[in-house]
Amino acid sequence: ETGVTQTPRHLVMGMTNKKSLKCEQHLGHNAMYWYKQSAKKPLELMFVYSLEERVENNSVPSRFSPECPNSSHLFLHLHTLQPEDSALYLCASSQAYRDTQYFGPGTRLTVL
Amino acid sequence: AQSVTQPDIHITVSEGASLELRCNYSYGATPYLFWYVQSPGQGLQLLLKYFSGDTLVQGIKGFEAEFKRSQSSFNLRKPSVHWSDAAEYFCAVGPRSNDYKLSFGAGTTVTVRA
């Protein structure tokens, strides 16, 4: 596979479930990002990982928990979500923290 | 803090006609500038970017954009649209500083009619 891949592509979960989103980049990049895309709203940056550094948007609720075990993989762990968390979650990567970002296809999340 | 405005929420254009999408930014210095396209159910694909140099930037799929410092604009153009250009287009701005955060506009949806 090439580029940035995300699994699953679609996820439906209840508010009490625990699930994880996975992102993998095959570009040899050193920075990875999670974005939330809600209908008719600008993309919201949630988390950034650059090598050993994590940059976090302070407005992200604790029910979202990122994990970056290495520079190729990024996870978003979900717990006790709310219906308003339903959105498209996009992963991106870049060569370095301030370089051009390349996006995956996204995970469409629906919280019931 | 930087911000991005895409004034047009939705544009309808005939196939073969020209297209221009507007993007205005607010930032104290010259930022990095990007245009991305998102087809339904897909992620964002980079069309083009401006970092420095020639203010007219060529991208993929026949798109180009022009950086105008005096107008704080980075408008996207295509001389002749194809039905496959129907998508949502996002302008993005990133500062040239250590406090890097890419800011996206709300997007412009392009509909192409036959």
- For residue A103, give the nearest of B41, B44, B107 by CB distance: B44
Residue B54 CA to residue B61 CA, distance in Å, equals 19
Q: A83: helix, coil or strand?
A: helix
Instruction: Sort out which chain A residues have CB atoms less than 8 A from B102's CB and list them.
Output: 45, 101
Residues of chain A with pLDDT under 50: none
Q: Write down the pLDDT at residue A3.
A: 92
Residue with tokens 């995970």: A107
Please give the residue of chain B at the shortest CA–CA distance from A97. Answer: B100
- For residue A105, give the nearest of B43, B46, B104 by CB distance: B43
Q: Write down the pLDDT at residue A1.
A: 53
Q: pLDDT grade, residue B45 (50/70/90)?
A: very high
β-strands B32-38, B44-50: how paired?
antiparallel
Residue A47 CA to residue A32 CA, distance in Å, equals 8
Count of CB contacts below 8 A, A vs B?
A: 38
For an interface test with B, give the residue of A23, A38, A43, A48 to mutate (most B CBs within 10 A). Answer: A43
B89 or B99, which is more confident:
B89
For the residues B86-96, what does the mean pLDDT come to? 89
Q: pLDDT grade, residue B3 (50/70/90)?
A: confident
Question: How close is the nearest chain A Cα to the Cα of B30, in Å?
Answer: 15
Residue B110 CA to residue A43 CA, distance in Å, equals 18
> Is pLDDT at B95 greater than 70 in this prediction?
no
For an interface test with B, give the residue of A1, A57, A100, A110 to mutate (most B CBs within 10 A). Answer: A100
> Is pLDDT at B18 greater than 80 in this prediction?
yes
- For residue B43, give the nearest of A40, A97, A103 by CB distance: A103
Residue with tokens 């600008």: A42
CA-to-CA separations, B68 to A13, A27, A31, A74, in angstroms, rounded: 46, 32, 30, 37
> Is pLDDT at B31 greater than 90 in this prediction?
no
